[in-house]
Amino acid sequence: MSGISTHVLDTTKGRPAAGIQVLLERLVPESGWERAGAGVTDGNGRIARLLPESQPFDVGLYRITFRTAPYFGQQEAFYPEVTIQFHVSDPASHYHVPLLLSPYGYTTYRGS
């Protein structure tokens, strides 16, 4: 299965981060960043498919933006959003981009 997925874990609470709005964009050389997909993390903190099936999945630069401010609400937090850029070199592969999140830091990696 090719495509892009994500998973957000709240490391402070030790549980999945549900309800985070996520935007996926692709860099188009002629016109800049264009929306490629979007979603909201489910009860397990996951979005299994960020790219709609109708959206082409091409080689190139992509970025995922996580809207973290609404998730943290009134809790003090340093990052109102987190943006991760990554390169797709093989559209036949699956790209899983997890986010480990806390109010004052985050970590990401290429998952499987």
pLDDT digits (tens, 9 = 90+) for 42-56: 999 999 999 988 777
CATH class of the domain comprising 3-108: mainly beta
Q: pTM to 2 decimals? A: 0.94
pLDDT digits (tens, 9 = 90+) for 86-112: 999 999 999 999 999 999 999 999 998
pLDDT digits (tens, 9 = 90+) for 54-84: 777 899 999 999 999 999 999 999 999 999 9
For the four alpha carbons of 102, 64, 66 and 98, in that order, the dihedral sign comes to negative
What's the pLDDT score for residue 55? 76
